[in-house]
Amino acid sequence: MTDQPLQPFAPPFSVNLSSGSAVEWLLGIAFALWLLFTLIAIYHWLKYSHASLIAFPAIFVHLAVSAALMSYALTGAVPLV
C-alpha cells in the first residue's frame, strides 16, 4: 500500500458545478426574489397608498437604484445613471 501515491478524495458522483455557474445561479435566484418582492410591494403601495404623492417617485427611485445595484453586481462597473 505504501508504494501507491495518495489520491485526493472524490465523491462517488460527479457534480459539474463550477464556482462561476454557482454564482450565476445564486444571483439569478436573488434577482428573481427581488423581482417578486418588488412587484408585490408596488402592487400593495399602489392599492393602499394610491393617493400619496410620493408613491410614483418612490417606485421609480427604487427601480433605478435596484437596477444600478444589479448592474454593478453583474458587471463590476459603476453605471452612469
Task: Give the structural domain span for 62.
Answer: 54-81
Number of structural domains (the chain) is: 1
Q: What is the pTM of this model?
A: 0.58
Decide if 67 is inside a domain. yes
Decide if 31 is inside a domain. no
Decide if 61 is inside a domain. yes
Given pLDDT bands bounded at 50, 70 and 90, which one contains residue 81? low
Decide if 77 is inside a domain. yes
Asked whether residue 17 carries a pLDDT value surpassing 80, the answer given is no
Decide if 78 is inside a domain. yes
Decide if 25 is inside a domain. no
Kindly state the average pLDDT of the residues 39-68: 84
Whole-number Cα distances in Å, 26 to 64, 66, 69, 72, 74? 22, 17, 15, 15, 12
The chain-wide mean pLDDT, for the chain, equals 78
Burial 60-79 (b: 16+ CB within 10 A, else e): eeeeeeeeeebeeeeeeeee
Asked whether residue 59 carries a pLDDT value surpassing 80, the answer given is yes
Q: Are 79 and 68 in contact (CB under 8 A)?
A: yes
Decide if 72 is inside a domain. yes
Asked whether residue 65 carries a pLDDT value surpassing 70, the answer given is yes
